[in-house]
């Protein structure tokens, strides 16, 4: 399993960030203030936009130690030599993703309920998947095809059942982080809690502090 610090996982939304320049600026500020992973996710974009954005984000993240994870498109990840790929249940099968990117890249998989989590074969945990995304844990407006919200008790059960690191996702905002960390999440993924915030630095620091306090 490739180690990844899931603590504060930023999923960039191009619209909320105000396009490519906004994504770059948001990333720079967020990484300087505690974000540990950056994911590019732009399902409405053509591949050339993905490529241009991924190249720009790689440059911003160079030397930071923060990995760039590409949502869905393994070809973009390969083209820019991104550190990771994140796929959902309707994307390429994880075993294919791992075969394409090789052993050293981070591979994440979304799971939306206990059944999807249970369906992940142990063989993938041992060689295919480095972490799972679990959500939505709250109602979300930034993912059009989101699954039903996972109830707190069900989320807690998934955290007990999981056999690899997990990041919670979906509608996570300041003040809603601590219960997830206490239930066993290794980190939280946010979109609108950072993208489009009037003060990205302060928003990121506040989220980071909530994670740290919940772990104490």
Instruction: Of 176, 182, 180, 183, give the one whose Cα is nearest residue 206.
Output: 176
Would you say 52 or 213 has its CB closer to a copy of itself?
Answer: 52
162 catalytic residue (yes or no): no
Residue 125 tokens read as 């945990």
Which of 91, 116, 146, 205 binds a copy of itself (CB under 8 A)? It is 91
Which of 47, 163, 182, 215 binds a copy of itself (CB under 8 A)? It is 47
The per-residue DSSP string of 28-79 comes to HHHHHTT--EEEE--TTS-HHHHHHHHHHHHHHHTTT-PPEEEES-HHHHHH
Q: What SS3 class is residue 194?
A: coil
Question: Taking contact as CB under 8 A, which single stretch among the options 12-20, 60-68, 95-103, 202-210 is the one that binds a copy of itself?
Answer: 95-103
To the question of whether residue 91 is assigned a binding role by annotation, the answer is yes
Partners of 176 in the β-ladder = none
* Active site amino acids: 41, 110, 143
Applying CB under 8 A, which residues contact a copy of itself?
46-49, 51, 72-76, 78-79, 87, 89-93, 96, 99-100
Bind-site residues: 71-72, 91, 110, 140-143, 171, 191-192
């Amino acid at each position: 399993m490739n180690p990844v610090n899931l603590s504060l996982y930023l999923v960039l939304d191009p619209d909320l960030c105000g396009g490519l320049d906004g994504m770059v600026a948001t990333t720079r500020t967020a990484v300087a203030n505690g974000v540990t992973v950056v994911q590019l996710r732009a399902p409405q974009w053509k591949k050339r936009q993905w490529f241009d954005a991924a190249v720009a984000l790689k440059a911003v993240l160079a030397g930071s130690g923060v990995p760039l994870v590409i949502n869905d498109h393994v070809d973009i990840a390969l083209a820019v030599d991104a550190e990771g790929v994140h796929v959902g249940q309707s994307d390429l099968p994880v075993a294919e993703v791992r075969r394409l990117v090789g052993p050293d890249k981070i591979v994440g998989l979304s799971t939306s309920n206990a059944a999807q989590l249970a369906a992940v074969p142990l063989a993938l945990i041992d060689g295919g998947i480095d972490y799972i995304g679990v959500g939505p844990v709250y109602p979300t407006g930034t993912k059009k095809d989101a699954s039903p919200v996972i109830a707190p008790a069900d989320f807690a059960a998934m955290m007990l059942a999981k056999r690899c690191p997990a990041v919670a996702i979906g509608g996570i905002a300041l003040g809603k982080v601590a219960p997830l960390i206490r239930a066993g999440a290794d980190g939280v993924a946010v979109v609108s809690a950072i993208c489009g915030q009037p003060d990205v630095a302060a928003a990121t620091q506040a989220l980071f502090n909530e994670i740290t306090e919940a772990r104490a």
